[in-house]
Chain A
Amino acid sequence: MFQNLLNGLAIGSVYAIFALGYTLVFSILRVINFAHGAVFTVGAYLTYVLTGSSFGFNGLLRGQSLPFGLPFPVALLLGAVLAGLVGVVIERLAFAPLRRRGADTLLTLVSSLGVAVALVNILQYLVGAEPYRYPSTALGALPTAINFGSAAAPVPIRTVQIVIFAVSMVIVALLTYFIRGTRTGKALRAVSEDATTAQLLGIDTDRLILYSFFLSGFLGAVAGSLVGLSVSVAGPYFGLAFGLKGLAVIVLGGLGDIPGAVVAGLLIGLAEAFVPGQYVAYRDAVAFVVLFGVLLVRPQGLLGRAQVQKV
C-alpha cells in the first residue's frame, strides 16, 4: 500500500515535470510540441554519455565513450542544459518559420512530429536500439532500498523512487518560484495571456518563446534521465511512448495549465500504481483511457474553466 503510494508518486512526479515542458510551450504558442518526447530521449542519452559510459555494438558510435566521466548529478544537469539548447534549435527550425508566416497550428504540430521522428531515428542510427543502464554508482553511497517498516514486517522502498520524487518536487518548486516570483516569469505569464498585448507593452515575445523552449527541453531531459535512472533508457523510441502518456497528463490538467499539469501528473502516476495485480498488463492503457474520457467529459481539464469560443 505504502509502496504503491510512493511508486505512484515517484512516476507521477516525473510525469508532472515532463508535462510541465509540454504545457510551458503550449501556454505561450497554443501548439503541442510533439518533439518533446524526442527531447526527453535525447536528454536521457546525453546524461548517459556524460557519466562516461560507452555505447553498445549497433550504432555508428559503437563502443565509443567520452574520455571523462562526470558524477551523475552533474551529468544530469549538464545533459538537461544541452537538451534545453536542442529545444531552442527545434524552435528555430520547426516552429519559428511557420509562426512568422502565421501558419495553421496543425501544420506546426506536424512539423514538430517530423522533428521528433528525425531526432529519434538519428539517435537510433548513432547508438543503436538496445537499452542502456546508468552506472550502478549513480546514486553514490546511498543504499539501494530503505526499510520503512519494522524489522519483523519490512516495507522496503527503493531509494531511487525517493530521490526521483524529491528531485521532481524541488524542480516544481523552483519553476513555480520562477513563474510566480520573477520578472521573466511574469512576462511569460503575460505572453501566455495575450501575446499581442504583451508585445505592445514592450515584452520581447520572441526571446520569451526561446526561454520557454529551453526550459521545456530542460524539464523533458530531467524527466528522461530520472526514468532512465529508475528503470533503464529503453531505446530511442521510449520517449515517444512516454510523450504520448504526457499528452494524457496535460489534457487532464488542462492544456497550458501549469498547476493542473502537476496535479494531473501525480494523479495518473498514482492511478497506474494502483492498478490491481491481475490487470497489470493493462497499465499502459490507463493514461489513454483517462485522455479519451477527459476529452469527452471535461476538455478544459481538471482545474480549468470552460471557455466560450468567440466567433
Chain B
Amino acid sequence: MKRRVLAAMSGGVDSSVAAALLAEKGDEVVGVTMKLLARGETGFGCCGSAADIDDAKRVCERLGISHYVSDMADVFESKVIRPYVESYLGGTTPNPCVECNRSLKFGHLLALAEAWGCETVATGHYARVEKGRLLKALDPAKDQSYFLYSLNARALSKAEFPVGALSKEAVRDKARRLGLRTADKVESMETCFVPGRDVRRFIEKSAGAGARGLAPGPIRDRTGIELGRHTGLASYTVGQRSGLGLSGGEPRFVVSLDPDENAVIVGGSEDVWSSSIIVGALTWTGPAGAARAEVRIRHRHEPAAAALEKLHDETVTVVFDEPQRAPAPGQAAVFYSWEVVLGGGTILRGENL
C-alpha cells in the first residue's frame, strides 16, 4: 500500500525537491501551496503569491503529482501577521517564522493533511527528525531547526524534512537534473509578507500611523539622560547600531526598548552583552526540563552553553557560561543538546548580572 503524504510547497526550490524526493521513493505525494495573503495583495516572495503558486503547480506537473491551493489567509492574518505587528508596537522583535511553522504548516495544514488521509506533512526545511526527535540539518550553514523548535512531539511524529540531510547545492543539483523550473530560483531571506523589506512601512500600513510604537520619543543613555529623539520603537531592535541619528563620540547601540516610557535606551558596545536571559512561553519537543543546554538566541547564532534555571512552568532563566551579544526580546531562544533540539521559548529580556 502506497503511503500518502502531503508536501507543503511554497514554490521555492527546497520544497520542490522535498516533494520530488518523496515521489521518487514511491509515495503518493499531495502537493499543497498555502495561500497566505488575501486576494489582491502581492506578496514579495510570500507563500501563495500568484507567481509562486504557479511555480509549485508547474513543479507538480513535472513530477506527475497532484497539486492544490489551500487558502489560509485568515489564519495567517490572525496567528502570524497581527502578533507580528503587535510585537513591534510593544517594543519587541518578533519571529513570525516560528509561529507560521507552529500554527500554519504544523497546525492547520497538518490537520487538513490528516483529514485528507495523509500520513505526514513534508516541508523543504533544513532540519531532520529521527526517532521523534528534532535534529539540526546536516549542513550547518543551512540549518533551520531554530524556526521549528515549537513543534511538539505529536507534530514531530507527523513531520518530514526530506532535504534536511542535503546541502543547498545538492538540492539545486537535484532540481536541475529533474528539470524543475525552481532550480535556480532566488532564495527569499526576508520576512515573506513584508514587501521590500520595509518593516516600518508595513507596520504603519497595518496599525495606522498613529499607533503606539510608531510615536517619536526620547533616546536615553543608561543613566536616563536624553541624547536625542527616536522615530518609534518599532524601528529599533536590541543590538542595532545604525539609525539612531546621534552624532559624535563612541558608537552607540540599542541596549533595550522601554515601551512604558516609549524610550530607546542606548549604550556602548559593551552594554549590549547579557550574561543571562529570561525565556517564557516554553515548549518542549520531548520530555520537559533540562539543566544545561546550548542556547541559540537568533538564527545563525552559534549556540552558547548555558544553565537553565526554572522560574516556573513556562519560564526559565538561561545563565550563559559566557555573556552573549544582544539577545532581543521577542526572538526565540532554542535549547540544543548538541544536534538535538530540546525545546525553546520566547526571550522576555536580557540581564547582565
A and B from one complex: no
| Residue ranges of B at the interface with A (Cβ–Cβ < 8 Å) | none
| Residue ranges of A at the interface with B (Cβ–Cβ < 8 Å) | none
